[in-house]
């Protein structure tokens, strides 16, 4: 079983993650992990604040040189600019602040923000790099792309940059939809025998666990609800690569809706929980959109979940054992799938 835990706050010394149950013999260079972290940090729409973070990291265990040993992998990512924000009883609208302050019985919203912040997703990307690399070595390609940004549905780098610049000038922020695809997955990952073993449920939990994600769909998703059964049956791609909670040998397609960044430069009205006075909470250093960065996080969160399902089916001790098992299974299932 592959599992992971993260810890750490935005202004703490480190963010930390532990990945346990990962096979031995997988070469994962530091530059590979650094490259994945850079994709998240430098995604379009992020604020100038990102320039402060270098995401300098250390792999404190689980590697011998660049190769995994099978022991738990520990990642430490250093936080720059560590001064703790001053205590404030003003919750940021659209964030975890209000519910978190009520839940943990505090008038200091900073204590909630420190951990609720999407800064934590850097660790998920660092740990997900190992899963992504494992998939690559097994011939599985996991990719992400943004399919809509605000009202823009035809995404090119230039069009997205113009839309982000327009929103920024208007003091506004943008949401969007990202898509994740996985090609080359062996058939039969996940299970139909119990609800929590269904791969769609597991991927949904991993992706809905990303800050700001408010919608999740597989294949035809919500659009399928308005299709007739005849039309749906004519297009097997609409199942998005999952049938009965298992991979069916086709490409996996997942989509997530990301809400517009709630931190507005011009401020959003909030209430101080000590004085009950109304006040504007303005976020001068917020990202304009999180959808491009969330897509990178989604790719890694999905890679971890898919690696977990794969290791459950084929064993998780070492890549040397795993690779021929996967190849053998592909050959065996291919004899049927290729004739359909």
Ligand X SMILES: Cc1cc2nc3c(=O)[nH]c(=O)nc-3n(C[C@H](O)[C@H](O)[C@H](O)COP(=O)(O)O)c2cc1C
Q: Site residues (CB under 6 A) for ligand X?
A: 47, 95-96, 116, 118, 121, 210-212, 259, 261-263, 283, 286-287, 290, 293-294, 297
Q: At what angle do helices 291-314 and 30-41 cross, to 10 degrees?
A: 140
Nearer CB in complex with ligand X: 39/250: 39
Nearer CB in complex with ligand X: 212/220: 212
Q: ∠ CA 256-259-160 to the nearest 5 degrees?
A: 80
Beta strands 3-8; 14-20: pairing state: antiparallel
**Least CB distance from residue 111 to ligand X, whole Å?**
15
CB 186 within 8 A of CB 310: yes
**Least CB distance from residue 117 to ligand X, whole Å?**
6
- Please tell me the number of Cα atoms within 13 Å of 110 on its side-chain side: 9
**Least CB distance from residue 293 to ligand X, whole Å?**
4
**Least CB distance from residue 211 to ligand X, whole Å?**
3
Q: Reduce the DSSP state of residue 88 to 3 states and report it.
A: coil
Residues 117, 180: Cα–Cα separation, whole Å: 23
Residues 138, 133: Cα–Cα separation, whole Å: 9
Least Cα distance to 306 among 161, 193, 181, 214 occurs for 181
Nearer CB in complex with ligand X: 63/293: 293
**Least CB distance from residue 281 to ligand X, whole Å?**
10
**Least CB distance from residue 102 to ligand X, whole Å?**
15
Beta strands 63-64; 176-183: pairing state: unpaired
Nearer CB in complex with ligand X: 69/282: 282
Question: Nearest-CB residue to ligand X?
Answer: 263
Least Cα distance to 39 among 147, 125, 120, 155 occurs for 125
Dmax (CA) of the chain: 71
Give how far the C-alpha of residue 248 lies from the chain's centroid of Cα atoms, to the nearest Å. 23
Residues 340, 333: Cα–Cα separation, whole Å: 11
Nearer CB in complex with ligand X: 18/258: 258
CB 126 within 8 A of CB 17: yes
Nearer CB in complex with ligand X: 206/242: 206
Residues 6, 116: Cα–Cα separation, whole Å: 12
Q: How many residues does the chain have?
A: 340
**Least CB distance from residue 44 to ligand X, whole Å?**
12
**Least CB distance from residue 261 to ligand X, whole Å?**
4
Nearer CB in complex with ligand X: 139/267: 267
Nearer CB in complex with ligand X: 8/190: 8
């Amino acid at each position: 079983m592959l599992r992971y835990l993260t810890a750490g706050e935005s202004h703490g010394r480190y963010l930390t993650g532990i990945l346990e149950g990962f096979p031995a013999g997988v070469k994962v260079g530091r530059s590979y992990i650094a490259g994945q972290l850079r994709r998240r940090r430098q995604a379009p729409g992020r604020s100038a604040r990102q320039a402060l973070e270098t995401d300098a990291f250390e792999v404190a265990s689980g590697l011998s040189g660049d190769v995994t040993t099978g022991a738990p992998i520990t990642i430490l990512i250093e936080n720059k600019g560590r001064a703790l924000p001053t205590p404030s009883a003003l919750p940021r609208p659209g964030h975890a602040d209000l519910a978190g302050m009520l839940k943990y019985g505090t008038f200091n919203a900073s204590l909630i923000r420190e951990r609720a912040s999407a800064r934590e997703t850097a660790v998920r990307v660092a740990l997900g790099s190992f899963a992504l690399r494992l998939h690559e070595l097994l011939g599985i390609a996991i990719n992400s792309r943004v399919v809509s940004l605000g009202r823009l549905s035809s995404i090119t780098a230039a069009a997205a940059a113009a839309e982000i610049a327009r929103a920024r000038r208007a003091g506004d922020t943008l949401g969007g939809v990202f898509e994740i695809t996985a090609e080359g997955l062996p058939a039969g990952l996940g299970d139909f025998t119990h609800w929590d073993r269904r791969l769609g449920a597991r991927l949904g939990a991993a992706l809905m666990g990303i800050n700001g994600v408010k919608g999740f769909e597989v294949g035809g998703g919500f659009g399928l609800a308005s299709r007739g059964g005849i039309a749906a049956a004519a297009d097997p791609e609409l199942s998005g690569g999952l049938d009965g909670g298992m991979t069916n040998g086709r490409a996996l397609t997942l989509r997530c809706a990301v809400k517009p960044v709630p931190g507005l430069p011009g401020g959003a009205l909030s209430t101080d929980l000590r004085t009950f006075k109304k006040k504007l909470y303005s976020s001068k250093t917020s990202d304009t959109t999180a959808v491009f960065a969330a897509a990178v996080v989604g790719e890694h969160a999905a890679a971890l979940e898919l690696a977990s399902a794969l290791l459950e089916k084929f064993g998780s001790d070492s890549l040397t054992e795993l690779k021929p098992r996967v190849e053998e299974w592909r050959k065996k299932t291919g004899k049927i799938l290729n004739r359909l």
